[in-house]
Amino acid sequence: MTTREDILERLAYADALGHGPKASALVAEAVSWADALGDEDLRVATRLALTEAYQQGNEEWKALAPFVWNLARYQRRPELFDDAQVRTLHWHFKWAVAVAGANPKVSKDKVRQLEASLEEFYRAEGASMHVVHGERASVAGLLGLEEEAAEELAAWRATHRDENADCEGCDPMRQVAFAYRTEAWDLAVATAVPVLTGAVGCSVQPQTMQSLVLLPLLASGRPRAAWEAHLRSYREIRRTPKALISVAYHLEYLALVGRVDRGLDVLRRHLPWLAQAESAYVLLSALRGMSLVLREAERAGRGEEALGVELPAADLWYPMPGLAASTTISRAYAEMTGWARRLAHQFDVRNGNSTISDHLERSLARAAFDTAPGAVHGLGVEVDLLEPSEELPEPAQTSLTTDEDGAEPDVASLLGLVADDDGSVREHAPRTTSSGPEAGGRRSRAGRGATSHQGGDEPFPLVDLVRPRPVRSGEEAVRRYVEHRRCIGSSTMDYWYVVDQVATRDLLPPPGEEIPGLEYHTGLLRAAALTCRTEMEEAIAERLRIRPLIELAFGPLGAYYVDLLNLDNEITADSIAERSQEAERDRRLRRATALIGQIEAQVEDLVYTELLDPGGTDALVLAADALLVGASVLTDLHARDEALGAIQVVARAAAAVPKDRHAERMDDILDMARAEVLAECGDVYNGCLLAEEVMRRHEMVSPVLAARGRRLLGISSMEVGQFDEAITQFREQANIMLAAGITLYAVASLLSLGSALEASERYLESAEVLESALSLAQRAGADSIALYLHRLLAQTGMAMGEEESVGEHSLAAARILQDQGRRALAGEYLSHAAMAASNLKDNVRAAALFRRAADLEDTRTDQGRLDRGRALRRSARALVDDLTLPMARARLAEAQEVMEEARQAFVGVADTEGYSSAWEIGDWHDDMAWILWRTGQNWQAVQHCEAAYDGYMDTEDRDSASRALCMLARLHAERGERQEALAACARVRDLLGEPQWDGHDALEFVVSIEETLR
């Protein structure tokens, strides 16, 4: 039979879980148990807990039933409620009124009755009317009665706050919401100032206020403040379905500043949340925000793009039949705006006015703000980082006082409102702390350029960028590629664009089905695209496939070219896989110099030919490009002089080729190549000087030279620890690539920028930049690049303390690593994900992930067996690290089985110079002692502490041995065995008696134990 203790234990466990449907279901079960038991106190307590669970767990409409039950019980038998429970009932009552107002199925009369009952209840309890007026103001807005809302806000401000009021951070949101609806933008911002500046806050602030005030900040001419509010608040709310209304404000903001890509990413992430909307008003807000994003996507020419994620059918607040992932953006836009309008009409019918629909139509028709002009001549989207925000106004008042003469102050004036002659209300801007906010438009970075790497104030020239024309087909891509290959230094912006289009759109026909006469060109283009995707092994294989064809066309020169490209890929592949290249360096250097020597000899022969035929010119172009590849390989191998020599031969070849076969001015191409050699081979100063000089030669710099120069300056700045300068350079490089629409090159630039931001400890911006890069990489299906980004984001998440992010990206990295066959590294990332789950109090998931990591270990080796055993021990510990002692005890037997499996994993591993089997078994006993202590089996744990101590001391590991003794002291102290506990403390002091151990954590721990035993 269920007992009172069972019910209390269930409530405690649900509370430890945190708010959400799972916890609410457990509390609902506790309610049924209390009813069956007939315990009146518990019937009240469980329903109070259930009301709270529903309200905080995104199911607020379900809270009405238990609340009404408790309210009726209180009115009949108030003695059942203690003071704390009565205060809780006050809070529940005000929430109930808001729930009713937010759902048009509740009649206007019923809402009014609830308002009247709330006032009656509060007056009877002697409470301030501050909450009553505040709720009435909010409900008036939901009823479409803005004048009444303004009047109630005035009364709300004129009454004092008490213990029933929302906190100082949340209470002003009533006024901000009113100002948002009535488009009193400056009033909204001024009211939010204390929260925005951090003067006040709580568990849901400032992120909730920052979300609500995005449009007011933007509309009042504060785009930088709005961008910062967006970045900071969205990261806080994006994993919480209860924050759907806040997500709606972010969607609206992203649409109105033209950030379509980011808006679609956010929309796709949260589209399934529509079925979980906790009220009809939240659903309406979300539909409005999503509609605006879809509108802007359609205007950007993406109407036929697939929505990409399924919207499940739902009918809680409005019958939505759902949308398939294949639904086009245009169709989704039409459906969502239709749903929003019909839902708003339901409010209008209930309210007897059209205010809700009018506000919706104003929102849906609102024009985008001209605050995102792009980085380079109005093209593309620039990378925005956090910069000093515009001035905020002085805070608006949120409480009224009586004037000295006893008269009430002018409410409308204090609210920031004045009446027109016809009586309608309009905004009156509050004072600001300066002469006024900065002008509304964002700064344009392209016009001023970035400051010189060497610290000068002279800006770099503007970038002469014209966005490449679209690639319509695979054949067009190949023919454009062939045209570029006719020129020395073929890496023009259009060349990069064509390669990127092939890499991201899979345009080429499969091998064997190429356009006749363009077979090897197609293979080279496919290999270039695979290289762009960092799929180096596949790129190498493709070039080897067409090597005979290019050799047939150019003789040995064609083979040399392919071999140098593949050697470059080999080096890059080792770098990506984090393999040591030292053993291969000498072989690769010999191979590279031999190939380059052969090419140089051919160049000499061709240069001395008096009249080059077209074939000879083609051969010189190929030889020059091969030498440029060779110079890159030699640079990677730190062969500075050899690389510079290869570039000099390119100059001789170029001199013999007509200038119309040069991709750009040859001096620029060669000097930028020399700059890269110098900088990457240790002469950073002269390399950077030369790169800057090349970029400043012309009034307008070519985008290729600008991108290469920026990259060089960024890498060089990172090497010398000038992270801010690196951020500037990588940011400009990314802006060029984004403006040109070159996706994977943009990803590489953003990756560099994110790394620089992380090195500068600007973790928030780093995470945002890397997530943008990840979105682009995933859209292109570039798993190898996505892997690197997932790993960086997991690292950034650790630095930011974002355990959800660590778990998400570690798991994603582990999946890709397993697909690549890199099991050891996959196991590391599964362990990272397990630790994140453990930190989030999800011990069952943590145990499962540690088990998966253990299963990836190679048990054919001693190290693999040891690592498997250690991962299994971490799994066993996680199993019992539950939220309550009873739940921990329920998994003890399973944990003990895992511990035995862990012991068997390393049994038989022989001692070596770096490994002690005695130490390992001691560490096993240490974990077993912790597991038994965690499950309340203190007496059994004692013997394992002694065994752990003996094992550690086999290698004189006093640090670990002290940990075992500290656990022993804890066990005896918790059992009330004072003498034994003090003896264990003395053993710790004796063990760590040497001066080198002063300040050790174990010594501080025994002091705390001894103090408790006095």
Q: Which amino acid is at 897?
A: E
Rounded mean pLDDT, 809-817: 97
Rounded CA separation 666/655 (Å): 9
The two tokens of residue 145 are 């009665």
DSSP state of 459: P
Q: Please state which CATH class domain 910-1014 belongs to.
A: mainly alpha
Rounded mean pLDDT, 885-903: 95
Rounded CA separation 426/418 (Å): 6
The Cα angle at residue 376 between residues 374 and 380, in degrees rounded to 5: 45
Q: Which amino acid is at 225?
A: A
Closest C-alpha to 419, from 428, 429, 407:
428
Rounded CA separation 508/945 (Å): 66
* Secondary structure of residue 910 in the 3-state scheme: coil
Rounded CA separation 444/372 (Å): 9
Rounded CA separation 732/738 (Å): 10
CATH 1.25.40 domain range(s) in the chain? 910-1014
User: pLDDT (tens digit, 9 = 90+) per residue, 284-326?
Assistant: 999 999 999 999 999 999 999 999 999 999 888 989 889 999 9
Rounded CA separation 882/13 (Å): 10
User: pLDDT (tens digit, 9 = 90+) per residue, 275-285?
Assistant: 999 999 999 99
Residue 371: its pLDDT value, please?
61
Q: What is the pTM of this model?
A: 0.86
> Over 80: is that where the pLDDT of 901 sits?
yes
| Residues 6+ away with beta carbon under 8 Å from 619 | 554, 557, 602, 606
The two tokens of residue 76 are 């009949």
The two tokens of residue 78 are 């108030």
Q: Tell me phi and psi for residue 161, to 5 degrees.
A: -75, 150
Rounded CA separation 683/715 (Å): 13
Rounded mean pLDDT, 106-130: 94
- SS3 for 309-376 is CCECCECCCCCECCECCCCEHHHHHHHHHHHHHHHHHHHHHHHCCCHHHHHHHHHHHCCCCCCCCCCE
Q: What is the DSSP annotation of 67-107?
A: HHHHHHHHHH-GGG--HHHHHHHHHHHHHHHHHHHT-TTS-
The two tokens of residue 15 are 């509370």
Rounded CA separation 185/188 (Å): 5
For 608, what's the count of Cα atoms within 13 Å in the CB-facing half-sphere?
A: 5
Q: Which amino acid is at 643?
A: A
> Over 90: is that where the pLDDT of 835 sits?
yes
Residue 416: its pLDDT value, please?
43
| Residues 6+ away with beta carbon under 8 Å from 901 | 872
Rounded CA separation 536/820 (Å): 13
The two tokens of residue 201 are 């806050």
Measure Cα distances from 825 to 18, 783, 856, 859 in Å. 33, 16, 9, 15
Q: Which amino acid is at 234?
A: Y
pLDDT band with cut points at 50, 70 and 90 for residue 50: very high
Rounded mean pLDDT, 117-121: 94
The two tokens of residue 147 are 């004048």
Residues forming a β-bridge with 463: 701
pLDDT band with cut points at 50, 70 and 90 for residue 2: confident
> Over 80: is that where the pLDDT of 741 sits?
yes
DSSP state of 833: H
Cβ proximity of 766 and 731 under 8 Å: no
Cβ proximity of 271 and 309 under 8 Å: yes
User: pLDDT (tens digit, 9 = 90+) per residue, 7-44?
Assistant: 998 999 899 888 999 999 999 999 999 999 999 999 99
> Over 50: is that where the pLDDT of 419 sits?
no
Q: Which amino acid is at 365?
A: A
Residue 413: its pLDDT value, please?
46
Rounded CA separation 697/675 (Å): 15
User: pLDDT (tens digit, 9 = 90+) per residue, 507-551?
Assistant: 999 988 888 999 999 999 999 999 999 999 999 999 999 999 999
> Over 90: is that where the pLDDT of 397 sits?
no
419 membership: H or E segment, kind and range: strand 417-419
Q: ω into residue 206 within 30 of 0, thus cis?
A: yes
User: pLDDT (tens digit, 9 = 90+) per residue, 206-264?
Assistant: 999 999 999 999 999 999 999 999 999 999 999 999 999 999 999 999 999 999 999 99
Over the Cα atoms of the chain, what is R_g? 34
Rounded CA separation 734/752 (Å): 9
Mean of the per-residue pLDDT values of the chain? 91
Residue keyed to tokens 């089985």: 897
> Over 70: is that where the pLDDT of 420 sits?
no
The two tokens of residue 985 are 């403390």
The Cα angle at residue 619 between residues 616 and 621, in degrees rounded to 5: 115
Question: 170-193 burial string, b = 16+ CB within 10 Å, else e?
Answer: bbbbbbbbbbbbbbbbbbbbbbbb
Q: 417-419 and 425-427: which strand pairing? A: antiparallel
| Residues 6+ away with beta carbon under 8 Å from 660 | none
Measure Cα distances from 106 to 65, 143, 350, 357 in Å. 14, 11, 8, 18
| Residues 6+ away with beta carbon under 8 Å from 290 | 248, 251, 267, 271, 336
Residue keyed to tokens 């004048």: 147
> Over 60: is that where the pLDDT of 774 sits?
yes
The two tokens of residue 353 are 């006015």
Rounded CA separation 204/209 (Å): 9
Residue keyed to tokens 């933007």: 218
Closest C-alpha to 796, from 782, 806, 808:
806
Rounded CA separation 206/170 (Å): 9
Rounded CA separation 794/850 (Å): 17
Q: What is the DSSP annotation of 165-192?
A: SPPTTTTTHHHHHHHHHTT-HHHHHHHH
Rounded CA separation 548/391 (Å): 67
Cβ proximity of 900 and 865 under 8 Å: no
Give me the torsion for CA of 292, 296, 301, 304, rounded to 10°.
-20
